[in-house]
Structure 1
Amino acid sequence: MSLTLDAARRILAATRAEGRAQQMKPLSVVVLDAGGHVIAFEREDGASAGRFDIARAKAYGAVMLGMGGRAQMARAEAQGYFMAALNGVFDGKVLPVPGGVLVRDAVGAIIGAVGVTGDTSDNDAAAALAGIAAAGLTGEA
């Protein structure tokens, strides 16, 4: 199974709706496929211009490393040199913090990732998880 544009749009809408329901700051949300390519992106009114790159870096790290942002952050805290080296391998495109969430299909295969930025990293991850669930998929923060 691959992550479709329709599913990506459902994720965007539900992630943003969760942000509004929880009174989060304006969110920016990106959905990547399993190869790290952008399927869809939205930046809410009032979100700063640089949020695309932050959201993409959160999602890119998740899909390229096969681990959500929380696991990446734990790895960075335990082995900063390793994550720094990986970021070099990926041309600085990895941001190892919560808000980068893997997307898994019904059998557990990684089919993409969602990156959310705009509020606290934990809130970003919570909004992403809600969006992924609304699309009938499983998220791994």
Structure 2
Amino acid sequence: MNRITLDAARVIIHDTMAYGREKGMKPLSVVVVDSGGHVQAFERADGAPPGRFEIARGKAYGSVMLGIGGTAQRDRAEVQAYFVAAAGAAYDGKLVPVPGGILVRNDAGDVIGAVGVTGDTSENDLAAGTAGIHAVGLIADG
């Protein structure tokens, strides 16, 4: 697969949210972006704050634009805060460099998009998004 189809994006979102409910997480919001950072699909669970779209998008957008998942972005911010600040400025403040931003790779290892999950702890967001990505047979790189 060289891109995330709309059907795959919908399954990723559905299974990410189902994982969150199963694990008793707070209401999640999930966005799927293509390899250019453009939103392909988004859903916000009942009870999730309305501002979660921007956070979910920032997690996914930062991952695909920098080519590293949210966990690696957070780690880099801890040792090179100036780089993450500069990248954030270069991308008009659209980066949210924390776990829950997950690169989506195909079997060849190519980045074909990203998923951003927000609503619970960053680590739980990452786990939920990873489950959604795996549900469509793709590789999660968070």
- Segments of structure 2 that go 5 or more residues without pairing to the other structure are none
Partner of 2:128: 127
2:119 counterpart of 1:118: yes
Identity of aligned residues (%): 64
Structure 2: distance between partners of 1:101 and 1:75: 15
TM-score, length of structure 2 as denominator length: 0.99
How many Å apart are 1:96 and its aligned residue?
A: 0.4
Partner of 1:63: 64
TM-score, length of structure 1 as denominator length: 0.99
- Superposed, 1:1-141 pairs within 5 Å as 1-141=2-142
Structure 2: distance between partners of 1:12 and 1:58: 15
- Segments of structure 1 that go 5 or more residues without pairing to the other structure are none
Structure 2: distance between partners of 1:5 and 1:78: 37
Structure 1: distance between partners of 2:114 and 2:44: 17
Structure 1: distance between partners of 2:116 and 2:126: 8
- 4+ residue segments displaced more than 3 Å: none
The number of residue pairs the alignment matches comes to 141
How many Å apart are 1:106 and its aligned residue?
A: 1.0
